Chain A
Amino acid sequence: MEVLDIIKPENQVFCKTKLMTNAALSYCPGCGHGTAHNLTMEVIDEMGIAEDTIGVAPVGCSVLAYDFMNIDMTQAAHGRAPAVATAIARTWPEKYVFTYQGDGDLAAIGTAETIHACNRGENIVIIFVNNGIYGMTGGQMAPTTLPGMKSTTSPFGRDVKTMGSPIKMTELVAQLPGTYYVTRQSVHTHKNVRKAKKAIKKAFENIKLKKGISFVEIVSNCNSGWKMTPNDANKWMEDNMFPYYPLGDIKVNGKLK
């Protein structure tokens, strides 16, 4: 059998996500951001809604999401993506509007915008990549940094007595009547990738129902910020992040689980 026989379209099980551009990803090798981007674009492509989708990029490592996602995108100020998306969704009610945000962006500086967009039940999707750290600025403590976890601004480990406890934003917004679907996923194994994609798909499909916000947290790694190899980072995430941030649906079809 020739190589060309094997790479026939019908034999193809994996290819580059169509809605991703050809720009080289600027993320560190092993970083979950790239996979989260892929999944989001795959869902939009498969749903055939690319022409009607407007994305809002945050400030954080994924500030350049618009370099990689081949759709119309607006880059928001640090933490303000839910406000930006609110206005786009309100003035273009038939469009699919989503934000893509890190944990510093969504759960620290943008807490008010997150809570209030969720509380108003804006008809948008929020994709929240929680890596427990400020990746972009070089590994400072985030509101989601685990107790005892070291960062450049908590070099002796996060002391909850003086620095507070990590905030579970996803559980918090699930309490608000404006959220329709709230889930926590990860993208570090094949199995989790498949689950996360299903969740993202459900979130985008919910936009058609106009019943409120769909909020998808992706617990992710930051091997650079955590100062670990990609493999060690994933193992550390399973052992430490998942117990604090358990995976799974928290609210489905407007009902808490």
Chain B
Amino acid sequence: MSELKLMKGNEALAEAAIRAGVDAYFGYPITPQTELIEYLMSQKTEERTGMVCLQAESEIAAINMVYGAASTGKKVFTSSSSPGVSLKQEGISYIAGAELPAVIVNVVRGGPGLGTIQPSQADYFQSVKGGGHGDYKLYVLAPSSVQEMSDFVEDAFDIAFKYNAPVLILSDGLIGQMMEKVELKPQQKRRTDAEVIAQCGSWATTGKTKDRERNIITSLDLQSEKMEARVHRLLKKYEQMEKEDLRFEKINCDDAEYLIVAYGSSARIAQKAVEIARSKGVKVGLLRPITLFPFPKKQLFDLADQVKGILSVELNAGQMVEDVKLSTEFKVPVEHFGRTGGIIHTPEEILEALEQKIINNGSIRHHKTRESSIL
């Protein structure tokens, strides 16, 4: 039975993981993610479902534990926040290279360095451009509500096991910490060991039985041709993800003259900005990428023929805006607006930026006296 509860985003994700029949979690405390590991530890998961939860000695150890459990076909995940996710990058690269299914959660805070514990979207580049070393990508899901924190756990594991690839849930301190109503799915049974072997026995290191060759999990190919073949195999997966598993949401885009692109917490605030603008008669639409890789390139390319300008709204100094520009191939003006340092923009600030950077852009030079406020 599904259940309605008031929960923090971090807790909702943790509860959803238990209910999704996840086998193991390995993590390390860091604000603003800590409720996630605390919640799991409070749940006596070994008793509830048999799920293993362990506080590792570091984020490095945690991601390598994820690598270990994933190499045996278990459903395993880790969570952290920005500095900790930086530490995990070598391990994530190994998981991608060795083609293992795993889920990583980043409840982003501001940076660089120790930065701030306040929300941020400054890890966009790290998340969608690889992050660690080598030619790989992550499938990146960006929740914008507590409900999605919960729902995306199962979605993430589905993708991870569909492609044998790491999936990142890119949240932030706002979505992680805020409380909202959430509908939790019913408890699913964890797979038995026999079911794990039936599902993953062709590749997982579960113990070599007499009826098969040994399974080896590695990302090492000392022969260049083999290494290139591995990279090509990864590229094929990414192409398939773009074809089959792109997710986005279009809000008020049909008649839009101006477009805001925003994901996660920014998208929530941008949606309010769109409402205000529309109430003043300005036709603004919102494109919310739900997956950041794959990115809604084609949708943006098409919308660029329709709208007069695009504002990329992000809680960072300008990262996703580069992908928006690439996707629209410079057909229309694309600008960035974002606060950093943990400051969260208001809908009014977004509208002001839209007006200054997009609506008045170009025309402002000819009509210096023009006074059209959509605020």
Contacts and interface: CB of A to CB of B under 8 A. Distances in A.
Interface string A62-88: 011010001111111100100111111
Interface of A: 50-54, 56-57, 63-64, 66, 70-77, 80, 83-88, 90-92, 95, 112-113, 115-116
Contact of A54 (B23, B60, B193, B205): B205
Nearest to A66: B216
Contacts of B206: 54, 72, 92, 95
A72 B215 contact: yes
B328 to A, nearest CB: 39
Interface of chain A, main secondary structure: helix
Contacts of A116: 56-57, 61
B76 interface: yes
Select the residue from A72, A87, A92 with max chain B CB neighbours within 10 A. Answer: A87
B67 A92 contact: no
Contacts of B116: none
Interface residues of B, number: 39
A91 B76 contact: yes
Given A71-B214, A72-B206, A92-B206, 5 more contacts: A50-B207, A54-B205, A83-B61, A113-B60, A116-B61
B69 to A, nearest CB: 4
B19 interface: no
Nearest to B206: A72
Interface stretch (B217-225, B251-259, B260-268): B217-225
Contacts of A63: 220
Contacts, number: 124
Contacts of B94: 77
A52 B207 CA distance: 5
A88 B61 contact: no
Query: Considering the complex of A and B, which 3 residue pairs feature the smallest CB-CB distances, nearest first?
Result: A87-B68, A84-B68, A80-B64
A114 to B, nearest CB: 10
B219 A75 contact: yes
Given A51-B207, A86-B54, A70 B214 contact: yes
B102 to A, nearest CB: 11
Interface string B58-84: 101110111111011010100000000
A128 B186 CA distance: 46
B68 A85 contact: yes
Select the residue from B24, B90, B220 with max chain A CB neighbours within 10 A. Answer: B220
B91 interface: yes
A104 to B, nearest CB: 16
Contacts of A88: 68-69, 71-72, 205
B26 interface: yes
B230 to A, nearest CB: 14
B209 interface: yes
Contacts of B207: 50-54, 71-72, 92, 95
Given A54-B72, A63-B220, A83-B61, A90 B24 contact: yes
Contacts of B68: 56, 74, 76, 83-88
A90 to B, nearest CB: 5
